[in-house]
Amino acid sequence: MAKGSKSVFFCQSCGYESTKWMGQCPGCGEWNTFVEEIIDTKKPAGARRTKTDAKPVKLSEINMSGERRITTNIEELDRVLGGGVVPGSLTLVGGDPGIGKSTLLLQVCRNLSLNGKKVLYISGEESLSQIKLRAVRIGDFNGNLELLCETNLGVIHEVIKRQKPDIAVIDSIQTMYNEEVSSSPGSVSQVRESTAVLMQIAKGLGISIFIVGHVTKDGNVAGPRVLEHMVDTVLYFEGERHASYRILRGVKNRFGSTNEIGVFEMQHNGLMEVKNPSEYMLEGKPEGASGSIVTCSMEGTRPILIEIQALVAPSNFGIPRRTTAGTDFNRVNLLMAVLEKRAHLNLSASDAYVNIAGGIKMNEPAIDLGILLAIVSSYRDIVISDKVVAFGEVGLSGEVRAVNMADQRVREVKKLGFETVILPAVSMRSIKRESQMKFVPVKNISDAIRFIV
């Protein structure tokens, strides 16, 4: 080990620092996340206390008239960002390999450059010719988009200061390295220090910067958890790599809501927006099949209709099997226990499989009633009408509790041609009655089961 350097262990999940290796991190409680890195302990020559003329400013003196969001002309992305890109913001975009992170950001660069914004796309993973191949597939570009293949953060800093773009994209943060940090690119120290430099550039020069971040097998952005705390916005791209749809979800947003989602479909010419996700999710719904029902979930201010499928079959083993796809496994077990206790259904001798069609993941409590009715429908082999939608939260006593934004859910149901809505009785007072709709208010699961039977 070189003189003036020492060995330090970092937690890859939260960035906790230790002088020795530990099996469990005291900071976040994760196991086997410590990695060893060599850091330089030399202080820069001539380091001294900085003198500054900085003075605090009163809140009432701050003028926000010039701070307008930059629209990307991609409505799904603008919704997740809270209305557009905030000047001087630092946004982290994470997702599985091949999910479409680079494609989405290249489309954003294209739209912004066509709107007259000066855009700089910096890639540490692809060559200029490879980026050109992807750009030709997306569409026409103009001269306001500039490309740079570089991984040295010092060089990138100088180029950004010289070019002064409105928007900069870093693809990806794991390939960047700072010469002042002795560890290799992608390590905890490099990712943390590189992000700190980019944050200073964004805030100091007022440049909006997008960072692409690789994810681990657990679905989290690779590197220390402090990375997500440093940036202004964290977006995750979700969906199966081989499926056509993609969901952009905001996990953190200092300038807007974190409940909004954007839905995209991967096509040969890039990512296309899905304007009506409900209609997209219900395509191919089976007719006359038991164990299938449509429910309504809210993602931020957007209602989405999804199909819940359940299959209940006699178990061939002593322990029944439970499998879920797209929803919480423990929540399904809880609902089946409620059915056994409150509705007196003998499910302990049956295997149960619950699936949200389309591969989308939903964990909102409002889909409880839909899951429960789908299980009952399959268990008793009863076909629920294709014109019925059910939503509501189910409690342990079997009561059906109120859900938020019930009126918005009903409007979405009506728009797609459904005729009957099974909903909590306490939510009726927040709904504007529609003459064409039939409402079935229920107080407990017995009322709901009695209607479908």
**Rama region for 408: left / alpha / beta (φ>0; ψ in -120 to 50; rest):** alpha
Burial of 160 (0-12, 13-18, 19+ CB in 10 A): buried
Report the distance separating Cα 108 and Cα 102, nearest Å: 10
The torsion of the CA quartet 155, 160, 163, 166, rounded to 10 degrees, works out to 160
* Secondary structure letter of residue 179 according to DSSP: T
Find the Cα–Cα–Cα–Cα dihedral 136, 140, 145, 151, rounded to 10°.
-10
Identify the H or E element spanning 312. Answer: strand 302-314
Token duo for residue 447: 């009322």
User: Is residue 182 annotated as involved in ligand binding?
Assistant: no
Q: What is the distance between the alpha carbons of residues 39 and 17, in angstroms, rounded to a whole number?
A: 12
Whole-angstrom distance, CA of residue 8 vs CA of residue 288: 63
**Separation between Cα atoms, residue 426 and residue 432, nearest integer Å:** 14
Q: CA 414 from chain center: how many Å?
A: 28
Residues in a beta bridge with 10: 17, 35
Which residues 6+ apart lie within 8 Å of 11 measured at CB? 17, 18, 25, 27, 28, 30, 33, 34, 188, 224
156 phi/psi in degrees, rounded to 5: -60, -40
Residue 100 annotated as binding site: yes
Tell me how far apart the alpha carbons of residues 313 and 50 are, in angstroms, rounded to a whole number.
Answer: 73
Q: According to the annotation, is 185 in a ligand binding site?
A: no
Q: Is 441 annotated as a binding residue?
A: no
Identify the H or E element spanning 105.
Answer: helix 101-114
Angle, CA of 318, 395 and 329, to the nearest 5°:
45
State yes or no: 97 annotated in a binding site: yes
| β partners of residue 37 | 8
DSSP string, 239-294: S-TTSSEEEEEEEEETTS-SS-EEEEEEETTEEEE-S-HHHHHTTT--SS-TTEEE
- Is 99 marked within a binding site? yes
Angle between helices 188-205 and 153-163 (to 10 degrees): 10
Query: Is 320 annotated as belonging to a binding site?
Result: no
Residue positions in the annotated binding site? 95-102
Which residues define the annotated binding site for ATP? 95-102
